[in-house]
Amino acid sequence: MALKSFKLATTAVAGAITGAMMLLAATPASAANPPYDGCPDWALCLYQNSGGTGSKAIVTPPPAGSGSLIVRLHSVHFLNGVLADNQVSSWINNSQCSVEFWDDPYGELHPSQVDYTAAWSWGAKGDYDAGGSNYYKNDRISSLRFGCF
């Protein structure tokens, strides 16, 4: 009986070691989310990195037919706690609203519209990666104006 208990214990320990080794061998990339992942329907998601990667901020626009709404990014945080103001590198619009993306909306320097997406364009994206033609827009967005008509 003691031999049978010893074999069972040895098998259990070997199984536990094998399971632990499999967990440790998993690559960090296997846990990464795909680009533009997790943006709910009827929301605008802002991403800290280009290509819809990194931490995201989820902004819920007003309902259709409610007019316009301005959202200042100095009060919006990415999920990692970093303020979204002048930190947006990409976005996806899953809302029914048009969105204007603004830099310096208070006009302290040179207010300018950085980007725009039309209403009813679910899945429209903006990407300001360092190698693309829109690289100069990276980390400039400081407010949004929704048009929900």
Specify the pTM.
0.75
Q: Residue 86's pLDDT is what?
A: 93
Share of the chain above pLDDT 70, in %: 74
Q: Residue 20's pLDDT is what?
A: 39
CATH class of the domain comprising 44-148: mainly beta
Interval 15-70: pLDDT, tens: 444 443 333 333 344 356 789 999 999 999 999 999 999 999 999 999 988 999 99
Interval 103-120: pLDDT, tens: 976 656 567 899 999 999
Average pLDDT, the chain: 81
Residue type, 46: L
| In the chain, domain spans | 2-31, 44-148
Q: Residue 106's pLDDT is what?
A: 67
Is the confidence at residue 78, as pLDDT, over 90? yes
